[in-house]
A and B are shown apart, each in its own frame.
Chain A
Amino acid sequence: MADAAETKSLSFQDMILTLHAYWGARGCAILQPYDMRVGAGTFHPATTLRSLGPEPWNVAYVQPSRRPTDGRYGENPNRLQHYYQYQVILKPSPADLQEQYLGSLAAIGIDPLLHDIRFVEDDWESPTLGAWGLGWEVWCDGMEVTQFTYFQQMGGFDCKPVAGELTYGLERLAMYIQNVDNVYDLRFSDPVGDVPGVSYGDVFLENEKQFSKWNFEVADTDSLFAGFKAAEAECQRAIAANVPLAAYDQAIEASHLFNLLQARGVISVQERANYMARVRDLAKGSCKAWIDSQSDAWTAKYPGWTL
């Protein structure tokens, strides 16, 4: 039985393709990952910046996410310093967002009369983005598979209208669907004819080993500190020059360098809050500059809209 179930289940890449097809068919633009190192799909400017303002915005994308402190040298079956999030943003949040979401679970093979799907309170907050929302973590048989949030604020500004955000943890979902206990055993792709399939481990195990070592032991902290300062200064210059998208890139950069410094263990408890506040200021400043650059167009197109 187990074998039959396994061959029937989607490979990692087919799961992504299925989600793309599902959300594409519901009007989402399928974007590509942002080409910078970020800690979560929310950092993609398609979420952070585009969740601001009155314009409708419906997109879905995969975002590689880096969390240096979660690295385990490839030795832990569940924890990775690099993993994937599947991110869906629907603005304004549609009335049937929960139903659409549940439809996507069915599409990748989760039967809600066989598995226990639950919406469990989990309010989302990102201190570094000055953002928060209300929603749930979605449980499937007790496992958190998705973060489901109605954004209320981003960069310290009210979301008007509110966007619905779905963040799927792809590896967890795939482990669930494929019924494997170790992330490296996931079928990334299936064999086709003579061409063998590859496992998640084939693709990423070596990365996890090397990057865990670099994150925790090797990365040069002086360069990281210098990089943080440079990104901070560049972000402020870009804000002053009224190029908020470029400014936001530097905010992302600073955020990631801060995460690396944390992994290197060189930021004391006392300094931590201070660094987080600096990153938040950059993110908020970029959001504000983005709003400033767009608000004339927004109010022209959406009379009555106010910040």
Chain B
Amino acid sequence: MDREISGVDAVTDFLLELRSEEIPARMQAGARAELDKLFRAQMAAAGIDVGDFSIWSTPRRLALIAKGLLDATAAVSEELKGPRSSAPPQALEGFLRKTGLTQDQLEDRDGVYFAVIDKPGRATAEVLAEAIPAIIRAFAWPKSMRWGKDSASSESLRWVRPLSGIVAIFGEELIPCEVGGVASGYATRGHRFHCPGEITIGSASDYAEKLRACHVIVDHEERQAIIRDGAAKAAADAGLTLVADEGLVIENAGLTEWPVPLLGRFDEAFLEVPPEVIQLTARVNQKYFVVNDAAGKLANGFVCTANIDAVDGGAEIVAGNRKVLAARLSDARFFWEQDQKKTLAQHAEKLANITFHEKLGTVSQRVERISSIAATRLPELIGWDEEKARTMQPRLKLAADLAKADLVTEMVGEFPELQGLMGYYYASALGSDVAEAIRDQYKPAGPNDDLPSNEVGVLVSLADKADALFGFFAHNMKPTGSKDPFALRRAALGTIRIIVENNLRISLTSLFSAVDWERLYDSKGADYSDPTEEIVAFLIDRLKVQQREAGVRHDLIDAVFALGGEDDLVRLLARVKALQAFMASDDGANLLAGYKRAANILKQADISVAPAKAGAAGDTAVTMAAPAFAGATDVDRALLAALDTAEPAAAAAVADERFTDAMAALASLRAPIDAFFDGVMVNDPDEAVRAYRLGLLARFTGAVHGVADFSKIEG
């Protein structure tokens, strides 16, 4: 890049290091982004082009290197237009205040004041000396603190942990600055234990290498690579395979300046505890990776990441970590054994003491509701025959009644993320359908999570979500904006995925209405308005979001849903997909144009074009065209004839769920409607002819509405 100032090329590299006591690993990525943002803002405000710069972090420092900054900012001349010279004096005063000039410094150009402000270029070093304290003071940490003598005042500097040093070097020159009693200098510190003394940095160019010589790898990505590859190698050297965990890689890189992955083994006897428990114990409590054996099963090994090159090669470190893990696993095994001294049914008794939500009773009461929905209502609602419903009912009831029992086990108390899974293990004697249903009750947890694996699980999971949606909506605790404290969006998405992907034919309205509010929700006379309509609308809203990724148009979902009565998600989507294919065709696009034209004409004539809601009595809004009318032309009659054919054909196809046929029936209207608009004038001077043609158009829009509300379709 060729930049020139005052006739001399002058660019210089800048190094900034902010040292502090150990920054929490989880905050380091955010801190890098914050430093990036604040540095850019400061430089932009001063008019300094920053080009490329790098930001690194370790537990003890944030570092920034900006290459090729100009040594000075360009001089700029700024011109501001002021009031007319004839304007009242207040306007002039205001302008002078704003610009900081006096009246004789203004230029009068044809009766308008102009202020010309020359800003001389500033030395970049000077800008940086002001920018650094500003960045530090403006820095936003998720949590910050005060410390030391200065904290006797409430105004003392806040930082994530005590700020201990600032290195700021522009070229080879120190940028002098001071904030919170910490002055900038050339000195930093190396690794806490390997190299505890001060080291002097000369410039940005020797920073990373000098630190490396002092056992600090300042580039977090390099440390991540060392951990990722080193952990895999440590496992492979022992004939094992590392269970990759990128979150752990990043966390360990945030805990070390000199990462050294080390493999250790634990007592094989612990493998009797479920592998998920071992993995979680190792990961959450100790930040260890786990390893698999050749058969892909969890092996009795772990990889920890030390922060030193230990003098004994790490033997003591591994031994110490093994002992800690053994103590953790003993606890886990103790929980595992304790929990199994009782049956799940015995554990479930304790749920009566746990409040689910103050307005929605105890967890026991919630279980009772889920059980009633899953075992009594859902089988009929999704159309199982009586025999199947009767056979499955005991399994459904068993799974639902025990689903939440693991919440009061020791293991789930220790590891809440194992809810469901521990229930699965503890229910293993009750049959795989029930055990898996318990495991799967919270599924799917997201757009890519698995669905429940069997029918019992499908119904229990659906009931779980339906109860949550109903209860919270009935008490008006709906998600708003970014707030969704009861995870109802996730419940809605789960409901949609379970229904759609299992092809369940269920009326959402029936699912959410006819609930025994008083009895099941222990409402004690609380205000209650039936939330069914709101829940269904919420689900359709989430459906639009969810289907967007699959390329389904949200306006077409609206067009079908707006007809009312369409609360069967499977049918709704089939209809939307047929509609979308139709709209992509030439016939569809033209028919939509014809529809919009017809709707406009009707609107001008004050004739309602809203589709009749399903179940509403009669079509009173539209004036039907009489079959025989003396003033009709061939074009009119052709349209009428086409309607006579298409209308019942479309209706029959919709009723039979042959939606492609329904679209074909609509397509047959395209030619006649085009010919109609080309061949006749709707607003005929003869009132009778006009009324007849308006009637024809009303019938046409009505026929279209039999398939979808085209007024909702965009384009």
Contact = CB atoms under 8 A, between A and B. Distances in A.
Contacts of B310: 113-116
Contacts of B255: 118, 120
B606 interface: no
Interface in B192-230: 192-194
A136 B21 CA distance: 10
Contact of B327 (A54, A78, A102, A117): A78
B435 to A, nearest CB: 27
B24 A121 contact: yes
A112 B324 contact: no
Interface stretch (B140-148, B423-431, B572-580): B140-148
Interface string A257-282: 00000000000111000000000000
A164 to B, nearest CB: 8
Given A142-B325, A269-B355, A302-B152, A115 B320 contact: yes
A95 B162 contact: yes
Contacts of B323: 141, 143, 181
Interface stretch (A154-162, A184-192, A236-244): A154-162
A162 B146 contact: yes
Given A113-B194, A143-B324, A93 B317 contact: no
A305 to B, nearest CB: 6
A78 B326 CA distance: 11
B305 to A, nearest CB: 9
Interface in A122-159: 123, 133-136, 140-143, 150, 152, 158-159
Given A134-B161, A269-B354, A92 B21 contact: no
Given A123-B143, A142-B325, A95 B164 contact: yes
A119 interface: yes
Contacts of A204: none
A162 B148 contact: yes
Contacts of A214: none
B493 to A, nearest CB: 30
Given A113-B311, A134-B161, A142-B325, A176 B320 contact: yes
Given A98-B21, A159-B151, A112 B59 contact: no
B320 A134 contact: no
A121 B26 contact: yes
B22 A119 contact: yes
Nearest to B318: A141
Contact of B307 (A116, A158, A269): A116
B482 interface: no
A93 B25 contact: no
Contacts of B24: 121
A111 B312 CA distance: 11
A119 B21 CA distance: 9
Contacts of B317: 114-116, 141
Nearest to A144: B324
Contacts, number: 120
Interface in B51-103: 59
Given A95-B164, A123-B143, A162-B145, A116 B308 contact: yes
Contact of B145 (A115, A142, A150): A150
Interface string A81-99: 0000000000011110010
B304 interface: yes
B147 A150 contact: yes
B321 interface: yes
Contact of A158 (B154, B162, B304, B306): B154
Which interface class (under 10, 10 to 19, 20 to 34, 35 or more) fits A? Answer: 35 or more
Nearest to B312: A114
Given A142-B286, A142-B324, A143-B323, A134 B148 contact: no
Contacts of B164: 95
Contacts of A134: 143, 145, 160-161
Nearest to A134: B145
Nearest to A141: B320
B153 interface: yes
Interface residues of B, number: 47
Given A112-B308, A120-B255, A142-B320, A92 B151 contact: yes
A160 B152 contact: yes
B287 to A, nearest CB: 8
B353 interface: yes
Contact of B320 (A77, A111, A143): A143
B316 interface: yes
B149 interface: yes
Contacts of B160: 134
A111 B514 CA distance: 70
Interface string B13-28: 0000000011011100
Interface in B285-333: 286, 288, 304, 306-308, 310-312, 316-317, 319-321, 323-325, 327, 330
A164 B145 CA distance: 12
A176 B288 CA distance: 20
A161 B325 contact: no
A98 B147 CA distance: 13
B143 A305 contact: no
A161 B151 CA distance: 5
B27 to A, nearest CB: 8
B150 interface: yes
A88 to B, nearest CB: 16
Interface in B266-286: 286
A100 to B, nearest CB: 13
Interface in A174-213: 176, 181
Nearest to A119: B22
Contacts of A143: 320, 323-324
A102 B21 CA distance: 13
A95 B148 CA distance: 7
A270 B355 contact: yes
Nearest to A123: B143
Contacts of B324: 141-143
A200 to B, nearest CB: 17
A141 B25 CA distance: 18
A140 B321 CA distance: 9
A143 B145 CA distance: 26
B321 A141 contact: yes
A54 B152 contact: yes
Given A150-B162, A305-B152, A141 B145 contact: no
Contact of A162 (B59, B151, B316): B151
B265 to A, nearest CB: 14
Contact of A117 (B152, B193, B288, B304): B193
Nearest to B153: A160
Nearest to A92: B149
Interface in B325-370: 325, 327, 330, 353-355
B59 A119 contact: yes
Given A140-B320, A143-B323, A143-B324, A112 B149 contact: no
Contacts of B306: 116
A270 B203 CA distance: 61
Nearest to A133: B145
A23 B155 CA distance: 31
Interface string A54-93: 1000000000000000000000011000000000000011
B550 to A, nearest CB: 40
Nearest to B326: A181
Nearest to A149: B145
Nearest to B327: A78
Interface of B: 21-22, 24-26, 59, 143, 145-154, 160-162, 164, 192-194, 255, 286, 288, 304, 306-308, 310-312, 316-317, 319-321, 323-325, 327, 330, 353-355
Which 8 A-B residue pairs are closest in the complex by CB-CB distance? A141-B320, A121-B24, A119-B22, A142-B321, A161-B152, A162-B151, A161-B151, A116-B306
Given A116-B308, A162-B148, 7 more contacts: A78-B327, A113-B308, A116-B320, A119-B21, A141-B319, A162-B145, A304-B153
15 contacts: A93-B151, A112-B193, A112-B308, A120-B22, A134-B143, A135-B161, A141-B320, A141-B323, A141-B324, A142-B324, A142-B325, A143-B320, A160-B151, A160-B152, A161-B149
